[in-house]
């Protein structure tokens, strides 16, 4: 008895589990995709990478505390020593020459130079002679300043923040791309559900009509040809049901995989009929796109990069020099304490320079190439801006057209459904041929599919506009 109860409970539980249905709207599917999809995680990882790249750039303008050491530095070998008479002897050496130093450095963005403060200690152990010596810089400050050279720090300070702003907007654009993909998969499944519903309804209606037709045939009110036609329609309907179930399963798996759903529930999608489609001004859309899109930021960044290339080519063809100055205190002794007993002044000033005398036109060619690339970049940006605006204007126009198409197809769907009901009733009453009934069948199904297609086109255009402008026209706010 207990076994029967357990088996019954198991069968009921299995049936209930199989009947679990998860109802989802288009907005819910989009949010799930943005939160759980692999594409969303990839976009978030890319955004994080760009953030740390920006942090790395910022660190170039902050003080750097650096520890340098060479410890241990043991050496045991033979070294050549030149004798007073010019002969060479190889003397054995066995020593340790260790050092350690701490430096605080700061880059100067305006000039491209570096200032620093440092302290260093060096110890030399001669194991053959059993002697130990110390040498060190107690404290020193210095400057390394390029003269007449290209200043990377100055240009990076203008360009890198733009790159970071681009990365932020690119992340938002990635989210809107995900929304577009999720919307497409949503309508793949919705259309599959509609096709399955149409196929099952048509099969049921065909069976009912075939039953009626057989009764009329027995009464001599219909022909054998009509019976055969309905039997053929019945076979087509059964085949359509099988095809629809297969397409439904594939579309369900594709959508679940993309939005990260792991359960076995059957999805039931709600038709996303817009209650109040937004009115979108083309100029507003263009203004928002230039304010929000990564491409709009890139226009300025690409202009600066072209200018930087020209400036770099100009500086590299002339005099390049570097000023190095150092001022501090140093000493030597047989113990560490000796270094701090009356340390000696330490000064260093050097200017190193180089200037091309004969380069066979290399510098001039580099400059002309950079200037030509700058012009090409300007022309390309002008064209990209025109394409940018044209794409948005076209999309706004398309969206307005699709709003009207959606209204028309919705009316056509309602009319075709009503027309089919009338045709079915007329056939039962014997007032309509099987051919006209089949035409009504086809028109009803096609109108239903056209309505779902119009819904799909409307939302595809809507999400495309969001991607192009990074603006939510329903809520009237930036994304």
pLDDT at 237 over 60: yes
Spatial contact of 299 and 384, defined as CB atoms under 8 Å apart: yes
Give the chain's domains with CATH numbers.
Answer: 22-58+154-303+365-478 (1.20.1600.10)
Confidence tier at 442 by pLDDT (50, 70, 90): confident
Point out the least confidently predicted range of 40-54, 138-152, 190-204. 190-204
Tell me: the pLDDT tens digits for 175-215? 999 999 999 999 999 999 988 888 888 788 778 777 777 77
Give the per-residue pLDDT at 300.
93
For residues 173 and 340, which has the higher predicted lDDT (pLDDT)? 173
Judge whether 255 and 29 are in contact, CB under 8 Å: yes
User: What is the spatial distance between Cα 321 and Cα 127, in angstroms, rounded to a whole number?
Assistant: 44
Pairing of strands 266-269, 114-126: unpaired
Task: Write the pLDDT tens digit of every residue in 267-296.
Answer: 888 989 888 888 888 999 999 999 999 999
Q: What is the pLDDT of residue 220?
A: 67
What contacts 240, CB < 8 A, 6 or more positions away?
195, 198, 199, 202, 203
pLDDT at 13: 42
- Phi, psi values for residue 73, rounded to 5°: -140, 60
pLDDT at position 10, please? 41
- Cβ pair 22, 266 in contact under 8 A: yes
- A 10 A CB-CB count for 148 gives 12
For residue 72, cis peptide bond before it (omega within 30 degrees of 0): yes
pLDDT recorded at residue 12:
38
pLDDT tens by residue, 63-76: 999 999 988 888 89
């Amino acid at each position: 008895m207990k076994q029967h109860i357990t088996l019954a409970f198991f069968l009921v539980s299995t049936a209930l589990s199989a009947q679990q249905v998860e109802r989802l709207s288009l907005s819910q599917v989009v949010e799930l995709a943005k939160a759980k999809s692999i594409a969303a995680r990839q976009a978030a990882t890319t955004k994080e990478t760009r953030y740390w790249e920006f942090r790395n750039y910022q660190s170039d303008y902050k003080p750097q505390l650096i520890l340098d050491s060479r410890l241990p530095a043991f050496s045991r070998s033979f070294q050549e020593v030149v004798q007073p008479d010019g002969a060479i002897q190889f003397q054995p050496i066995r020593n340790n020459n260790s050092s350690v130093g701490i430096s605080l450095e700061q880059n100067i963005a305006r000039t491209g130079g570096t200032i620093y403060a440092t302290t260093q200690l060096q110890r030399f152990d001669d194991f053959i002679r059993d002697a130990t010596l110390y040498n060190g810089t107690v404290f020193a400050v210095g400057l390394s300043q390029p003269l007449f050279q290209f200043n990377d720090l100055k240009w990076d300070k203008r360009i890198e923040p733009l790159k970071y702003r681009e990365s932020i907007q690119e992340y938002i654009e990635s989210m809107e791309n995900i929304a577009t993909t999720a919307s497409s998969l949503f309508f793949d499944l919705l259309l599959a559900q509609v096709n399955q519903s149409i196929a099952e309804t048509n099969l049921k209606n065909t069976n009912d009509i075939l039953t009626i037709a057989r009764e009329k045939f027995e009464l001599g009110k219909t022909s054998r040809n009509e019976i055969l036609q309905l039997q053929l329609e019945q076979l087509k309907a059964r085949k359509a049901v099988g095809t629809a179930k297969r397409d439904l399963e594939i579309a369900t798996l594709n959508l679940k995989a993309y939005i990260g759903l792991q359960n076995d529930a059957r999805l039931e999608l709600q038709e996303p009929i817009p209650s109040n489609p937004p009115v979108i001004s083309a100029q507003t859309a263009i203004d928002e796109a230039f304010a929000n899109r990564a491409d709009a930021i890139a226009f300025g960044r690409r202009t600066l990069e072209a200018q930087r290339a020209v400036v770099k080519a100009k500086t590299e063809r002339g005099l390049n020099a570097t000023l190095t100055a150092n001022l501090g205190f140093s000493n030597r002794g047989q113990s560490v304490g000796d270094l701090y007993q009356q340390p000696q002044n330490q000064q260093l000033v050097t200017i190193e320079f180089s200037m091309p005398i004969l380069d066979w036109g290399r510098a001039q060619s580099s400059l002309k190439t950079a200037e030509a690339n700058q012009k090409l970049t300007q022309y390309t940006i002008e064209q990209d801006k025109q394409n940018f605006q044209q794409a948005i204007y076209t999309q706004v126009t398309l969206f307005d057209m699709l709003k009207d198409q959606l209204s028309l197809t919705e009316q056509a769907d309602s009319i075709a459904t009503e027309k089919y009901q009338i045709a079915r009733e007329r056939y039962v009453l014997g007032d309509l041929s099987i051919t006209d009934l089949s035409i009504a069948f086809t028109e009803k199904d096609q109108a239903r599919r056209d309505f779902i297609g119009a819904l799909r086109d409307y939302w595809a255009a809507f999400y495309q506009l969001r991607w192009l402008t990074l603006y939510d026209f329903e809520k009237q706010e930036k994304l």
